[in-house]
């Protein structure tokens, strides 16, 4: 299926470009263990499959992201790794150039290029005042993507716990955030600002390449890019999204 192809592409390109020369553990959240490829890895690098239950809707997968990370932070991540880098593989990502230790301060986030020059009042923050993740229109700095962010693993439980608690309260009140994972992440990063904000070239989508005025101004070297895909062909509604971790 499309998911397996994208996962294999991610792992192949990560082995070529991601944290070269460092120990890396790829933790893959999946509810179909046989679907995960076990290709060749460099010494000191491994793939660990974490079995999770499937969910029915893409919104549920998105919202369960944080809950799953929170659970496994306590169970094993705190003992296994030093830094945690979270990546959405379902969206179809591959490394295009080297990504190394320079992205790993205590907390990093990646701005959404579609909002890079937008005023903060135009960001797709959660605007419903009853929601736990509500952000007023006069607040905000960047609109961060949920597909690529990371933090020291010892600090991660604070992020996951805060976002998970906000989700639980919203669920209890019958509220679903506008963009489930991104709304919670942006809400958290408003008061816990990243110590490093990556460049748009660190996460790029080919469909944006037509924005010619942007290219000469910010793009020097593409590092992590989305590959063309049809979501209806690759989305399995019972598959949970994966997470990549460096240790």
What is the per-residue pLDDT for 231? 47
Which of 198, 196, 201 minimizes the C-alpha distance to 218? 201
* CATH T-level topology, domain 2-246: Spore Coat Polysaccharide Biosynthesis Protein SpsA; Chain A (3.90.550)
What is the per-residue pLDDT for 37? 66
Residues 151-203 have pLDDT tens digits of: 999 998 899 889 888 888 988 998 887 777 788 899 999 999 999 999 877 88
Regions of the chain where pLDDT drops below 50: 58, 212, 231-247
What is the per-residue pLDDT for 103? 93
Listed in sequence order, the residues at least 6 apart from 194 whose beta carbon sits closer than 8 Å to its beta carbon are 105, 107, 108, 109, 144, 149
Query: Could you give the 3-state DSSP secondary structure of residue 208?
Result: helix
What is the per-residue pLDDT for 78? 85
What is the per-residue pLDDT for 77? 86
What is the per-residue pLDDT for 157? 87
Q: Classify the phi-psi angles of 162: left when phi > 0, otherwise alpha if psi is within -120 to 50, otherwise beta.
A: alpha
DSSP-assigned letter for residue 204: B
Distance CA(113)–CA(210), nearest Å, equals 13
Full-model pTM? 0.82
What is the per-residue pLDDT for 24? 95
Distance CA(206)–CA(136), nearest Å, equals 32
């Amino acid at each position: 299926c499309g998911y397996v192809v994208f996962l294999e592409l991610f792992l192949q390109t990560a082995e070529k470009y991601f944290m070269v020369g460092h120990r890396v553990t790829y933790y893959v959240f999946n509810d179909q263990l046989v679907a995960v490829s076990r290709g060749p890895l460099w010494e000191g690098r491994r793939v660990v499959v974490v079995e999770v239950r499937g969910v029915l809707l893409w919104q549920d997968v998105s919202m369960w992201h944080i809950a799953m990370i929170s659970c496994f932070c306590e169970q094993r991540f705190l003992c296994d790794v030093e830094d945690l880098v979270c990546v959405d593989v379902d969206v179809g990502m591959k490394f295009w150039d080297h990504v190394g230790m320079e992205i790993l301060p205590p907390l990093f986030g990646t701005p959404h290029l579609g909002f890079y020059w937008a005023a903060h009042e135009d960001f797709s923050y959660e605007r419903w005042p009853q929601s736990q993740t509500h952000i007023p229109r006069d607040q905000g700095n960047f609109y961060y993507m949920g597909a690529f962010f990371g933090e020291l693993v010892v600090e991660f439980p604070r992020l996951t716990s805060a976002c998970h608690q906000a989700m639980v309260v919203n669920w209890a009140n019958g509220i679903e955030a506008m963009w489930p994972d991104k709304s919670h992440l942006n809400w958290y990063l408003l008061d816990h600002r990243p110590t490093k904000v990556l460049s748009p070239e660190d996460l790029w989508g080919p469909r944006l390449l037509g924005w010619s005025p942007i290219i000469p101004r910010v793009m020097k070297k593409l590092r992590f890019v989305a590959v063309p895909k049809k979501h209806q062909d690759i989305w399995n509604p019972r598959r949970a999204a994966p997470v990549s971790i460096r240790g």
